[in-house]
Amino acid sequence: MKHKGALLTRKNLMENDHYQELFRDAFGAEFREDLPVDVYFSPGRVNIIGEHIDYNGGMVLPAALDIGIYGIAQKRSDATLQIKSNIFSSMGVLMMDGPDLEYRKEDGWVNYVKGMTKYLMDEDRQIQPMNILFVSNLPDGAGLSSSATLEILTGFMLLYENEGMNLDRVALAQTAKKMENEYIGVNCGIMDQFAVAMGRENHAVLLDTSVLSHSYIPFVLQNYSLVIAHTNKKRELNESKYNERARECQEALAILQKNIKMDNLVEAFPEQIEEFISDPILRKRALHVSRENERVIETVKYMTEGDILSVGRMLTQSHESLKNLYEVSGFELDVMVEESLQHEGCIGARMTGAGFGGCAIALVENYLVDDFMEKVSGEYEKKTGLTPHLFVARIDDGTRKLEFSQK
Ligand code: ADP
Ligand code: MG
């Protein structure tokens, strides 16, 4: 589906109460003059490095973006949730108990909202009924984790009225991950939900997924910028491939555990993998996981030391591994990365997110960013026939209610 939210900015959403107008258009007679319209924002996230290892107990380094999904809402006094989205025509009217909250494939995006509502209610949390219009400037299915953005936004909005500042963001991320695993059926790790809920402006989140501890790493790239390049190649077979990789990792771990004591696949050293895993596919998957975890640790060291050239090298190595060992890249992502690396201003590039389409990232020298975007876009389009979208990443805070001073 064409992305209708691409031109939306926070400024034009908030200016002249434009958000109120959008809400009124969407909800018509349901709009209440006497009640305030609240605006919440939930960021997309970009993963700098540490790909496909958050479900293997690895270290990951995502950061929240300044693009994401807005939730524009008015409270209701009955037990109903009514939801609409600017990028999907279908809408949902949910009674907050009973069969309305069951998963139905044909309900599409509404399932994420139903799932969050159901899971929070199962935790006996007090939920605020409301009408919500979701307005997004985050491409969906692009590896910038729009699903987690929507999940955390939904949970945050439903709970904020009753829990406010006491809302436990880490617990919310855990609930959302559980919901995506069990209810949606994607065996993702917790990185996306954690990054969206816990992001911090101008910082990357270093998350150890084995114990769920985290720290913030200043996102300082000196003379370089992080460019996000959306291939506009829709991911295909994404969920089944994702689950296939998760299963392969479990098999590799089970083989290793017969020989070595370990809890997570990232603990295996490459030599142990070579020694104990004979299946060539499982061996490749495990090698990626083991080395990618090392690369995250090294990347953080280089970032902290200000050695941006080495950070770039880590990104490129990560891509090679995702392409050859983990096999989750694809023609379009490879072209994007190769064309990026061809440019004189680029010191490292890789696919980001689940793969099979979606986005790549590149570290590019500031004064060459415009030239980079123009040339890489042109070459990419020539080779793939697809028009990409390139932009500079800005790192923002996690999910929040927007106060009007934050216009
Ligand atoms: P990713 O998380 O990489 O963006 P997913 O396939 O996991 O990709 O999630 C994309 C899905 O999330 C969409 O198909 C849709 O169901 C839902 N979604 C994303 N953005 C929105 C939005 N603005 N409004 C409604 N649903 C959305
Ligand atoms: Mg997702």
**N- to C-terminal Cα distance for the chain?**
29
Our answer on whether the CB atom of 147 is closer than 6 Å to any ligand 1 atom is: yes
Is the residue at 117 inside a domain? yes
State the ligand closest to the CA atom of 133: 1
Atom of ligand 1 nearest to the CA of 108: 16
Q: What is the pLDDT of residue 236?
A: 66
Residue 136 has pLDDT above 90, yes or no: yes
Q: What is the pLDDT of residue 93?
A: 78
Per residue in 144-165, pLDDT tens? 999 999 999 999 999 999 998 8
d(CA 269, CA 295): 13
184 CA → ligand 2 middle, Å: 10
Q: Active site includes 192?
A: yes
181-187-190-195 Cα dihedral, nearest 10 degrees: -100
CATH code assigned at 75: 3.30.230.10
Confidence of residue 406 (pLDDT cuts 50, 70, 90): very low
State the ligand closest to the CA atom of 354: 1
DSSP element (H, E) containing 376: helix 369-384
Per residue in 340-385, pLDDT tens? 999 999 999 999 999 999 999 999 999 999 999 999 999 999 999 9
Is the residue at 331 inside a domain? no
Our answer on whether the CB atom of 68 is closer than 6 Å to any ligand 1 atom is: no
State the ligand closest to the CA atom of 140: 1
Decide the pairing of beta strands 59-75 and 80-85. unpaired
The model's pTM = 0.95
* Residue with CA closest to ligand 1 atom 23: 136
Q: Which domain holds residue 44?
A: 5-217
251 CA → ligand 2 middle, Å: 23
164 CA → ligand 2 middle, Å: 26
Our answer on whether the CB atom of 189 is closer than 6 Å to any ligand 1 atom is: no
Residue 175 has pLDDT above 60, yes or no: yes
* Residue with CA closest to ligand 1 atom 16: 109
Q: What is the pLDDT of residue 177?
A: 98
Is the residue at 246 inside a domain? no
Is the residue at 350 inside a domain? no
Q: What is the pLDDT of residue 328?
A: 96
Confidence of residue 3 (pLDDT cuts 50, 70, 90): very low
Taking residue 55's Cβ as centre, other Cβ atoms within 10 Å add up to 22
Instruction: Say if CB 376 and CB 336 are below 8 A apart.
Output: yes
371 by Cβ neighbours in 10 Å (0-12 / 13-18 / 19+) ranks as: middle
Our answer on whether the CB atom of 110 is closer than 6 Å to any ligand 1 atom is: no
Our answer on whether the CB atom of 109 is closer than 6 Å to any ligand 1 atom is: yes
Per residue in 264-301, pLDDT tens? 999 999 999 999 999 999 999 999 999 999 999 999 99
Per residue in 186-226, pLDDT tens? 889 999 999 999 999 999 999 999 999 999 999 999 999 99
Q: For the chain, what is the domain count?
A: 1
**Catalytic choice (168, 192, 279, 307):** 192
Task: Indicate the average pLDDT of the chain.
Answer: 93
Is the residue at 236 inside a domain? no
Is the residue at 339 inside a domain? no
Is the residue at 195 inside a domain? yes
Our answer on whether the CB atom of 330 is closer than 6 Å to any ligand 1 atom is: no
214 CA → ligand 1 middle, Å: 26
Q: What is the pLDDT of residue 94?
A: 75
Our answer on whether the CB atom of 85 is closer than 6 Å to any ligand 1 atom is: yes
Atom of ligand 1 nearest to the CA of 235: 6
182 CA → ligand 2 middle, Å: 14
Is the residue at 107 inside a domain? yes
* Residue with CA closest to ligand 1 atom 11: 147
